[in-house]
Homo-oligomer: A and B are copies of this chain.
Amino acid sequence: MNENANTLASERTKVRRRAERGRYDRATVNAILDEALICHVGFVSDSQPFVIPTIHARDGARLLLHGAAASRMLGAAAQGIPLCVTVTLLDGLVLARSAFHHSMNYRSVVILGRATEINWPEEKMEAMRLLVEHVAAGRWKDSRLPTDEELSATRILSIPITEASAKVRTGPPIDDEADHALNIWAGEIPVAETFGAPVPDPLLRTGIAMPDYVRDYRRPSNR
C-alpha cells in the first residue's frame, strides 16, 4: 500500500458484511471525511479498547488529529500504536415492513493506521489552520492565531490514509418479497445535521457583525 494506490482496501479493511456496500476509492473516502464534523478514534491501552470522539481534518492523503499536549489518548497515539479512526454520517432511518429488515442509511469510513507527531511549528500552524477550516471554512483568517505557547500546548498527529474503507447504504427498505403485500407502511425518514441561528458570545463587544460564513454556515456538500 502507498499513498498513490488506487484502492485503500486491505484484508483488514475489506467490508465483509454487506460487501456490496463497500467502497475503496479515495474520492468516496475523502468526501465522507470532509463532510463529517467529528470522528471516533480507537486505541488500545492495557488490552482495553478506548473510543474517543474528536475533531479531524484531512490534509491530502493524511488525516490530522489534535488535542492537548497532556492528553492521554494523543500521548499514547503519538507513540505509533495501532489506531482506528471511524467517521459516520447518518442519512436516514429505514423502516421496513419486517422488524428484521429495519436499517439505516449512512456513509461511514474506517481508517487503520499509526500516527506520527507533527513537531515543526510552521507545520503545526498549518495543521491548526486545516482543523479550524474543517469546522468552519473561512474562520482562520478572522481568528487570533496561535501563540508559540499555544502551539506548544497542542499536539498534532498525522495518520496516513492508506488502509481504509467506506461503507454506504442508500435507498428504500429491502423487504422480503412476500412482505410487500402486508398492510404496513414502509419507507425512509431522512436524517440530516442542521445548523441553528448562531448565538453570539454574551461577552461579544457591541458593533461586531456576524460573518457570512457563520450566518450561512454549511458543510462542504451544501456549499
Is B40 within 8 A of A136, CB to CB? no
Q: Does A200 contact B (CB under 8 A)?
A: yes
- CB proximity of A153 to chain B, nearest CB, Å: 8
Is B154 within 8 A of A100, CB to CB? yes
Complex: chain B residue closest to A45, CB-CB: B12
Q: Which chain A residues numbered 104 to 131 have a C-beta less than 8 Å away from chain B?
A: 104, 106, 108, 110, 112, 128-129
Q: How far is the CA of A38 from the CA of B71 in the complex (A)?
A: 26
Q: How far is the CA of A185 from the CA of B211 in the complex (A)?
A: 7
- CB proximity of A221 to chain B, nearest CB, Å: 15
Q: Does A210 contact B (CB under 8 A)?
A: yes
* A172-B199 contact, Cβ under 8 Å, with A42-B84, A99-B143: yes
Q: Which chain A residues numbered 174 to 197 have a C-beta less than 8 Å away from chain B?
A: 175, 179-197
Most chain B beta-carbon neighbours within 10 Å: one of A49, A135, A191, A198 = A49
- CB proximity of A30 to chain B, nearest CB, Å: 19
Interface residue from B17, B83, B110, B187 paired with A72 (Cβ < 8 Å): B17
Complex: chain B residue closest to A178, CB-CB: B144
Q: Which residues of B contact A100 (CB under 8 A)?
A: 128, 146-147, 150, 153-154
Is A82 within 8 A of B49, CB to CB? yes
| Given A102-B143, A191-B193, 17 other A-B residues pairs in contact with their CB atoms under 8 A | A40-B42, A44-B49, A49-B49, A49-B82, A99-B129, A99-B145, A102-B136, A104-B135, A136-B189, A143-B184, A144-B184, A173-B201, A184-B208, A187-B200, A190-B197, A192-B194, A192-B195
A–B pairs, 18, beta carbons within 8 Å = A16-B72, A17-B70, A42-B50, A42-B84, A48-B84, A51-B51, A51-B110, A90-B193, A92-B199, A93-B195, A96-B143, A99-B140, A100-B147, A102-B135, A173-B201, A185-B209, A186-B203, A192-B196
Interface residues of A (CB under 8 A from B): 12, 16-17, 37-38, 40-44, 47-53, 55, 67-68, 70-72, 82-86, 88, 90, 92-93, 95-100, 102, 104, 106, 108, 110, 112, 128-129, 132, 135-136, 139-140, 142-147, 150, 153-154, 172-173, 175, 179-205, 208-211, 214, 217
